[in-house]
Amino acid sequence: MLPEEKGMTREEYDRDLMNFLRETNPDFILLAGWMRILSSLYCEQFGDITINVHPSLLPKFAGIKGDEVHQKVLDEEERYTGTTLHRVSAEVDTGETVLQRKVLVDETDTVESLRQKVQKQEVLGFCEFLERR
């Protein structure tokens, strides 16, 4: 991946990233643990082949990330959580859903235990997505 230069705007970084992607011409771009919001310019050019993973069953808990999602699941006493693979779009966590995998929330679950269960399903979700291609 490209190192981020200090002081670069999102658009500057994304332009460098897009130039790199044009050179490599990938079939798909999988974002796992990607904590950057991509610019609309990036989304216009590569959003259809860029698949992001989100640690909830979108549209629930869109716009929040990581352990914040798992805490919200516990706070709202959700019976299920999971993971969503979706195409990247200019609006955060609103791209077309390509796959969801559910996880049962146990009454003994903690943020840590939910994170572990969901991350396992994220990996399996990426595998399932790629097997379908």
User: Token match 């808990």: residue?
Assistant: 61
Q: Amino acid identity, residue 96?
A: E
Nearest to 80 by CA among 118, 29, 122: 118
Is residue 54 annotated as a catalytic residue, yes or no? yes
24-63 per-residue burial string, b: 16 or more CB within 10 A, e: under 16: eeeeebebeeeeeebbeebbeebbeebbbbbbbbbebbee
Q: Amino acid identity, residue 121?
A: Q
Q: Could you say which DSSP state residue 28 is in?
A: -
Beta-bridge partners for 51: 30, 87
Of 47, 50, 54, 82, catalytic = 54
Q: Which residues are catalytic?
A: 54
